[in-house]
Structure 1
Amino acid sequence: MMDRIEHWGDAHHPAWMDTVRIALGVFLFAKGISFISDTTQLSRLVTGLDLHLYTVAAVHYVAFAHIFGGFLIAMGCLTRIASIIQIPILLIAVFFVNFRMGFSYLNSEFWISMITLILVVTFSIVGSGRFSMDEWMKNHDN
């Protein structure tokens, strides 16, 4: 099943999607840097969820996943895996964090999280594309 999904994704990946993938990766990387620079805001968001998670572990997971995953997505290296790692974070952001703020059209964080979630799910299916490190390594395998 995974091979069929991977083959379908590789066959149906237009070149303009690579630009979207790179922009998504850069955005996630920048968001991770932003979380590291202001850990108190992220701690406040995670603590307010009342999921009884270890706040410090959750903050580090989110920051690490966004920085490392965003870099991999932008480079097109292990894009599917890096995208799948982002999905739980974005699901929590969309349905738990933004739920407290309200699902209005004025809540820009909700829309950013929702669009990012849709893009991450899309790239977990279609993969990295033609202009990626994965493709380069496949073509230059010695």
Structure 2
Amino acid sequence: MGAIIKLNKWANAHTNIGFDLLRVLLGSFLFYKGIDFMGQTGLIIELLDPVDTFGWTMIIVHYITMTHIFGGLLIIIGLLTRPAILLQLPVLVSAVLLNFLGEMVVINLVQASIALLLSVFFMIYGSGKHSVDYSLKMGM
């Protein structure tokens, strides 16, 4: 817990509006992808069909969609940013790996890689000064 407090103090001392805008853009992208996945569940089921064991495909599809939608919203407003990103990481790592295991689509690989790198950055950096987390912390 002490490491997180030190990271938050460092991030709040070195923050600017650019990092917060980048956080909002990441959350918006993840939210958009969640909405996009809702319309393409058939494609995701088809992609995961070879590795389906015990009917996990539908659970995975719902996990991906809900994690992107609700996690994206939390990241946008800066509330529980680190836990929201922690739930995103398995999905983003899988998205990068699927491009190497399946058909390589360069734009998907670039999008997933950038989202993964930004997520790792904000996992370390935190939500920043212009966030609900910071407002709640300063209000107490």
TM-score range, shorter chain: 0.7 to 0.9
TM-score (norm: length of structure 2): 0.88
Corresponding residue number in structure 2 for 1:78: 80
TM-score (norm: length of structure 1): 0.87
Task: Indicate if the aligned counterparts of 1:5 and 1:125 stay in contact, CA closer than 8 A.
Answer: yes
- For 1:88-130, what per-residue CA distance to the aligned partner results, in whole angstroms no more than 9, with x for missing partners? 11101101x111223xxx6100000000000011111100011
Query: Aligned partners of 1:130 and 1:2: how far apart in 2?
Result: 15
Among the aligned pairs, what percent are the same residue?
38
How many residues are aligned here?
A: 136
Shift of 1:12: 3.3
Query: Aligned partners of 1:88 and 1:69: how far apart in 2?
Result: 13
Corresponding residue number in structure 2 for 1:16: 18
Shift of 1:14: 2.8
The structure in which a higher percent of residues are helix is: 2
Task: Indicate if the aligned counterparts of 1:17 and 1:129 stay in contact, CA closer than 8 A.
Answer: yes
Corresponding residue number in structure 2 for 1:98: 99
Unaligned 5+ segments in structure 1 are: none
Query: Aligned partners of 1:34 and 1:47: how far apart in 2?
Result: 19
Mapped pair 1:112 → 2:114: no
Shift of 1:76: 0.3
Task: Indicate if the aligned counterparts of 1:26 and 1:71 stay in contact, CA closer than 8 A.
Answer: yes
Unaligned 5+ segments in structure 2 are: none
